Amino acid sequence: MIFISEVGPRDGLQNEKKILSTTKKVELINQLATTGVKKIECVSFVNPKIIKQMADAEEVMEQITRVKEVLYGGLVLSQSGLDRSLKSNVDFLNVAIASSNTFNQKNSKRTVEESISELSRVIRTGVEAGIEMIGVIGTAFGCPYDGVVPKERVISIAEKFLEAGCKEITLADTTGMANPKQVDELIGYFYKSFGVSTRLALHFHNTRGLGLANTLAGYQAGVRHFDSSIGGLGGCPFAPKAVGNVCTEDMVNMFHEMEINTNIELEKLISLALWLEKEIEHNLDGMVMKAGVPCTL
């Protein structure tokens, strides 16, 4: 069984030039909740002056129609973000850090060590409030500024986040630098460090066309939790030449063709991706939304 966290409403929309209205964002989230996706990253509680696409986070969370068994959450990078999120009835929070200093400075204006210190407190506070806290380690497979990130540093950050109370760690390929061999090796090192019972998720971008290959490598290495974005929407405001996340429909199609269950309705995802493409007003990167579901011969 595959568990997919849909990140399009946050990680996808935050990189779009066109800012969707609150009503359209709510419509997107509500429609995603009908596809069988059980986890949706809806918003980001960050400085609205910097990420204007996420300025209406509270309004979006207030207006969505919640579906039973679907978890709704957001992203936080600081204590102030957590304070906002706790007023918005979130089910989970992704707490993000970049494992490379240069990228983390651009993303959050802090060194890695400074972010670890603050975010560990954020995680503890969130856990005390009853929120599921997920530690997201960005640039885990490489940084466009600093190059190779030692796997020992990635594991060290994961250890501190788990000690603070995270129930899940997400290793994020923020700019699409990973390859399947590297994915297999880092996952092996992670499980060797923490055991296979520690919940691990993977977050890939398709910058160099290896998103699905890396997803498959992760699956073969034992991971069952993956982030993806409707239509392949997204990118990163602080990453040069980064493109969207692995496309949700393409990922679901791959697993379904392999006879691996996701409990997600692919046709609904395709229809929603086509609707979103019109709203965004440019072509999206998803492939199955263009080609359709393979015919059964």
Q: How far apart are CA 188 and CA 195, in angstroms?
A: 10
- What pLDDT does 122 receive? 98
Which positions are catalytic? 236
- Sorted by sequence, the CB contacts under 8 Å of residue 167 that are 6+ apart come out as 132, 133, 134, 199
Residue 188 lies in a domain: yes
Does residue 99 fall inside a structural domain?
Answer: yes
Residue 296 lies in a domain: no
pLDDT score for 242: 61
Residue 63 counted as domain residue:
yes
Counting the structural domains of the chain, the total is: 1
- For 226, list phi and psi in degrees, rounded to 5: -140, 145
**pTM, two decimal places:** 0.96
CA distances from 124 to 93, 95, 97, 160 (A): 12, 11, 16, 11
Q: Tell me: the pLDDT tens digits for 124-158?
A: 999 999 999 999 999 999 999 999 999 999 999 99
18 pLDDT above the threshold of 60: yes
| C-alpha 14 chain-centroid distance | 12
pLDDT at 235: 66
Is residue 123, in this structure, part of any structural domain at all? yes
- How many degrees, rounded to 5, is the angle at CA 11 between CA 209 and CA 40? 110
For residue 240, pLDDT over 80 is answered with: no
Is there a contact between 254 and 216 (Cβ–Cβ < 8 Å)? yes
Residues 34-60, mean pLDDT to the nearest whole number? 96
**What is the structure's pLDDT at 10?**
96
Residue 34 has pLDDT above 50, yes or no: yes
pLDDT in the model for residue 236 = 63
Q: Which domain holds residue 48?
A: 3-291
Residue 15 inside a domain? The answer is yes
- CATH number at 243 reads 3.20.20.70
Domain presence at residue 255: yes
Report if residue 131 sits inside a domain. Answer: yes
Amino acid 87: pLDDT: 95
In this prediction, residue 297 carries a pLDDT of: 44
Residue 238 above 90 pLDDT?
no
